[in-house]
Structure 1
């Protein structure tokens, strides 16, 4: 609908109206609207785009979806591993959702967020909404494979790396082993030997950061045993309770690597409440480089992962699969050590 320039009157603008004004066929206008620019000359395309902007033409997405048998919707399914954790309140996921929405919108796709659903319910929602594809995050390997067996359209997994032969699945993940290794090497370089890692689970498929962290010390002739891997299982206890439980052991250490910036910032707050200063009494490092890491006191040393790049790769892979174009099925993204003020040299 638009307001004409000559009189205030609601008018439904159609493709054939634009075609008539521009002196082209409706097919040519359709090519421009759907981004098939290679089929139209630059001069004609610019003329059509100007007329579209002038008239305020809006595509009838429902009609397009009906003809193409596509919904224009991409499901983003995230499993919350604990009732004690708020996924929407997690800074990492809020940033990830924002980038995914932005990148899909550029491609005339929109996201439907599906939280805390079993594989069966995810598939049910995907079929009910006729989703064009699924983004899966925070699901176990078994659950992701179960969904891929029932949902035959493209799937992109985020933050999961496992061998699964399925031509409609792409895995986008960061090099967690290298991230843990970089923190370990940094601790060694500033003379920390008595260290620990604070983690939120001990599941085999998520131990990459711990393995890398430990290996960095082993490569320098320093042994760190499993007793230095402090697990606060978010499925069974509150973070505060876990910190209370580990506090005596924490104070025996000179530096602690946390599995996320969220855990690191909570630990710094907890230590402050107990009269301990970071980094004077103990050094703390995190993982993710969320926005709050830069404005905390002290500013947090951490591993930076590029969440925007992760979202862009996920969206690009999804769109390529939808268009039946070849894709790379395992995409490992780099990480970077960011040194700030939360660690000190001994």
Structure 2
């Protein structure tokens, strides 16, 4: 007799059975009575360590992280691990390269570890469209929206990337900048990069300014070294550049260093705006102006939504978390030339 057998015989989810066996208070009296009746009828014995029992019955909650140098993800993962642990579940993390297929990893995890649920950080929605129907456990996509996919077991918590990117560009335009370059993610593998690029185009369109992707856009991975290299390429293409929007703070930090190495000052010669609001941005010189995502809230709601569906079932939920434009020292009004 295992915890899964008890779940099958009682008609309740494994998560509900586990909470009853661990004497958790958030279970209805009816559920507790029926589950304990099955336990007593089949003389089921608990292990001395309830947490060990839970880990035997399932491998807990999987966290699939796409991007090994994303500092925002590191902050979110740390919070998620703490919340999952406090909820009495085990967690295990898989870090993938930006170019890897997160659904292939999730399918392997589902087969080998049989988790209660999966949290995804970072995504390519094309992979989800193709392969997600094979995943039956509750899942939550954190930092990207899965609303358009309409899978019943896939919730999401995200920033409105398109709107936030448009706000960043609009801010630079309000400062008087017209020669603006963009350091973007790899749109063929990152949904966030696609959404933020849509925001870039939207801002130029709304401000009735031309945007030439071939000249004004440089694709790069979300890493400082890639931001550094892409900034150099952008300078070579746009000698009249006065401002840069980077789709991640780590790219922005790399860009600032590249500008310094070219003998250019930030923001006196070129303004820089990032995206994410990672802690590092507050300590670089100049302090980074950026779009701050609420990492703590995304982690909290992601875990809450996953645990709710594990324990109670129900349909998917999709939430947008507010963002904030944080003015640092890396952007200023265009000076007369």
TM-score normalised by length of structure 2: 0.77
Question: Which of the numbers 146, 149, 152 marks the counterpart of 2:133?
Answer: 149
Contact kept? 1:305, 1:334, Cα under 8 Å: yes
Instruction: Name the structure 2 match of 1:171.
Output: 156
| Structure 1 vs Structure 2 CA RMSD | 2.8
In the other structure, the counterpart of 2:165 is: 180
Q: In structure 1, how many angstroms separate the alpha carbons of the residues matched to 2:139 and 2:149? A: 12
Indicate the residue corresponding to 2:318 in structure 1. 330
Partner in structure 2 of residue 108 of structure 1: 88
Match of 2:180 in 1: 195
Task: Please identify, of 288-297 and 156-165, the stretch whose mean Cα deviation from structure 2 is larger.
Answer: 156-165
Structure 1: state its 5+ residue gaps. 1-29, 40-57, 81-86
Aligned partner of 2:143 in structure 1 is 159
Bigger radius of gyration: 1
**Paired residue secondary structure (2:272):** strand
Q: Which residue does the alignment assign to 1:60?
A: 50
1:278 alignment partner in structure 2: 266
2:119 maps to which of 135, 138, 155: 135
Which residue is equivalent to 2:71?
91
Rounded Cα–Cα distance in structure 2 between residues aligned with 1:195 and 1:246: 10
The alpha-carbon deviation at position 75 of structure 1 amounts to 0.6
1:33 is paired with a residue of what secondary structure?
Answer: coil
Give me the whole-angstrom Cα distance separating, in 2, the residues matched to 1:216 and 1:139.
Answer: 24
Pick aligned residue for 1:35 from 18, 22, 25 = 25
Gaps of at least 5 residues in structure 2 are: 1-19, 30-47
Aligned-partner Cα distance in 2 for 1:301–1:223? 24
1:226 partnered with 2:200: no
Rounded Cα–Cα distance in structure 2 between residues aligned with 1:156 and 1:36: 22
1:146 Cα deviation after fit? 4.4
1:280-319 alignment runs, 5 A limit? 280-319=268-307
Q: Report the Cα distance in structure 1 between the residues aligned to 2:218 and 2:304, rounded to whole angstroms.
A: 36
Q: State the partner residue of 2:201.
A: 214
Relative distance call for 1:242 and 1:181 in structure 2 (3 A) is: closer
**How much has 1:64 moved relative to structure 2?**
4.6
Deviation string, structure 1 residues 133-166 (Cα, Å, up to 9, x no partner): 1112223113224453222110111233342232
User: May I ask how many residue pairs the two structures share in their alignment?
Assistant: 290
- Aligned residue for 2:312, secondary structure, equals coil
* Aligned mates of 1:211, 1:140 — CA distance in 2: 16
SS state of the match for residue 155, structure 2? strand
* 1:311–1:93 distance in 2 versus 1, CA, 3 Å: same
Distance in 1 (alpha carbons) for counterparts of 2:244 and 2:186: 16
**Shift of the alpha carbon at 1:247?**
2.2
What is the TM-score when the length of structure 1 is the normalising length?
0.75
Indicate conservation of the 8 Å contact 1:75/1:135, yes or no. Answer: yes
Task: Give the whole-Å Cα distance in 2 for the aligned partners of 1:126 and 1:133.
Answer: 9
1:244 aligns with 2:228: no
TM alignment of 1:60-79, pairs within 5 A: 60-64=50-54, 69-71=57-59, 73-79=60-66
